[in-house]
Amino acid sequence: MKMEIRRVQMTGGASFVVTLPKDWAEQQKIKKNDPVGIMIQPDGTLVVTKKITEEPDQRTKEINCSTITDPAFLFRMLIGAYITGFNVIRLTTKQRFSPFVRTGVRDFTQMTIGQEIVEETDTVITIKDLLNPAEMPFDNTIKRMFVIVKNMHEDAIAALETHNKELAQDVIVRDMDADRLNWLIARQTNMIMQNTSLSRKMEISQSLAMHYYMLSRIIERVGDHAVRIAEHTLPIVGADIDKKILTAIKKSSTLSLEIFDRSIVSFFNTDMKEANRNIESISALENICGDINNMVLRQDTMIAINIGYIAESIRRSGEYAGDISETVINLLIENEQGPHKKKTGK
């Protein structure tokens, strides 16, 4: 879109005036004496909008289920509509819904936050978002994700050490808790990008919202690796694993989680130096995981393969935590004062 350059004029000796583009005003159906809203953004830019109320835009997504036969495809469409910020999702069909549609809708409402079925007939199902985005601050969601994922990793390692099959299976189930919070942050980020008034209401800039979204994606991936550790624990539950290997696994896991913990702390403390030190510590983790891979060569094939995958997931978790520290540095370079610090006047 081409930028229009307009000169600032002065009227009455005190007020600065800039005219609005005629094409834009006509497209928005703005007439003489109509009010418009002007919002100052954190980066100093101004947003001019016809919308002057705080009420969020009501966006509806229509999904015709008449030609959908794949339950997984339907679920992905529902998640896509949720993440992109639609307030209402309306499913229709020419004849009665197939049973998998109703099952998929119920799974969707249970796996997402704030989605409720408000209408259900033979040919129409309406899902409405009942959550006020401002009631779920980004900080709280990220901290909750971190606790969930960290506990998943710890329990996956404990399941390996104690031969606890049920605990490993529980880790796999808990992954959905991390996923639903990641989807929520993705949804809120998209809504903020579409609605600048929501950005102001939640007291978060669009740029910072994107950093939170990147952070949630990384934490979700750490959770995925906790699941992989649990999955590769199940085939070797009860196996006779060399105690030296278990000790090395526990050591690498502890270091990986320490990097993960410090990366989150550096984000909330806006500590660039700590974030940099955290990245430098990843090489020690890689060395330990490399030693584990060498040690398992003396084990049975089944044990060696699964321990190798477990060590790989521990290493990858630490590297993802390093990515969080890199995100912290990028954010603080962009905003030297830090995203959580406010300017004070004299």
- Mapped onto helix, strand or coil, the DSSP state of residue 48 is strand
Instruction: Give the whole-number percent of the chain exceeding pLDDT 90.
Output: 64
How much is the pLDDT for 29?
84
The residue with greater pLDDT, 20 or 343, is 20
Report the candidate in 47, 115, 31, 50 with the shortest Cα–Cα distance to residue 79: 115
User: What whole-number distance in Å separates Cα of residue 251 and Cα of residue 235?
Assistant: 22
How much is the pLDDT for 229?
98
State the Cα angle at 318 between 243 and 186, rounded to 5°.
135
Convert the pLDDT of each residue in 121-138 to its tens digit.
999 999 999 988 888 899
Q: Is 1.20.58.220 the CATH number for 134-334?
A: yes
How much is the pLDDT for 28?
83
Question: What integer is the mean pLDDT of 236-248?
Answer: 92
What sign has the CA pseudo-torsion 91, 97, 102, 104? negative
pLDDT at 336 over 70: no
Q: Which overall architecture, per CATH, does domain 60-129 show?
A: 2-Layer Sandwich (3.30)
Instruction: Give the whole-number percent of the chain exceeding pLDDT 70.
Output: 92
Q: Is 1.10.357 the CATH number for 9-49?
A: no
Locus of tokens 């601050």: 137
Phi-psi region of 220 (alpha: psi -120 to 50; beta: other; left: phi over 0): alpha
pLDDT at 343 over 50: no
User: What whole-number distance in Å separates Cα of residue 125 and Cα of residue 89?
Assistant: 8
**pLDDT band at residue 4 using 50, 70 and 90 as cut-offs:** confident
How much is the pLDDT for 43?
61
Convert the pLDDT of each residue in 27-79 to its tens digit.
888 888 888 877 776 567 777 877 666 555 688 999 999 999 999 999 999 99
How much is the pLDDT for 1?
58
Annotated domain spans of the chain: 9-49, 60-129, 134-334
Strand-strand pairing, 60-64 and 88-92: parallel
User: What whole-number distance in Å separates Cα of residue 256 and Cα of residue 315?
Assistant: 7
Convert the pLDDT of each residue in 177-187 to its tens digit.
999 999 999 99
Question: What integer is the mean pLDDT of 304-327?
Answer: 95
pLDDT at 228 over 80: yes
User: What whole-number distance in Å separates Cα of residue 61 and Cα of residue 73?
Assistant: 16
**pLDDT band at residue 319 using 50, 70 and 90 as cut-offs:** very high
In this structure, which amino acid lies at residue 32?
A: K
How much is the pLDDT for 255?
96
